[in-house]
Amino acid sequence: LWTHLERQKGGIGMRGPGESQIETDRRLILNKISLLKERLKLIDRQNETQRKNRQQLIRVALVGYTNVGKSTIMNMLSKSEVFAENKLFATLDTTVRKVVIENVPFLLSDTVGFIRKLPHHLVECFKSTLDEVREADILIHVVDVSHPNFEDQIRTVNETLKDLGAIDKTMITVFNKIDAFKPEDHNINTEQEPITLDDFRHSWMAKNNSPAIFISATQKENVEEFRNLLYDYVKQVHTARYPYDNLLY
């Protein structure tokens, strides 16, 4: 690991080859970690100030398993160019955009994708993302319905939201990538007919009371219906918070 240790030599009264260099490197690494922690604290304070300044607007956060299309939906709704890539942890920080639908403004946050059993040492790195989720008025839970294990991913996200104390927030479930859905990928019992997207849609709607919609963000399928659904919920929150503000509607 440290090639420069090969040049270190021990001798009588010395503690061994390279030991003093290891101690020096360890001290430098600890100093670097301490510096990075201080920078993280500064960023947290800056983010806290920004969040306080944004409290007057309704806040919506995109959540979901990693690599489900949250950034693509962010781009679609905000007409911005947030980095979107078919890759694990493509979004590592929190991106916030102001969005206006039918004269109603709100803030939309794109957050880091959740994964199963997120290591504890990574939680601090994602603190700003988790704070956005905790403080959101509405959550948009994006699901890659084309993934063979998407139901397990839903459970993982819900468990994470529960740990964050955010599971009871108003939530819209968006089943994305319907254009890539293949019934054969979801056929558990080969003796039965493969489940279709309509089959799953009907069973999901029957079992869950929360609003849900099936879209393809890349193909713009059912996108307008999604906008209308989101608008209805943002308007509900806005009306409850500002009951005398009738100028927007």
Burial of 73 (0-12, 13-18, 19+ CB in 10 A): buried
Domain borders along the chain are: 12-53, 56-241
The pLDDT of residue 192 is: 63
- Give first-to-last CA distance, the chain, whole Å: 64
How far from 38 is each of 34, 44, 51, 80, CA to CA, in Å?
6, 10, 20, 31
Class of CATH domain 56-241: alpha beta
The pLDDT of residue 96 is: 83
The pLDDT of residue 36 is: 80
Task: Quote the pTM value.
Answer: 0.70
For every one of its 249 residues, what pLDDT tens digit does the chain have, with 9 covering 90 and above? Answer: 455 555 454 555 555 555 677 888 888 888 888 888 877 776 666 666 555 555 678 999 999 998 899 989 998 998 754 545 554 444 444 578 888 888 888 899 988 777 666 665 555 556 666 788 888 999 999 999 999 999 999 998 998 889 888 999 999 999 999 999 988 776 655 566 777 888 888 888 778 888 999 999 999 999 999 999 999 999 999 888 877 665 555
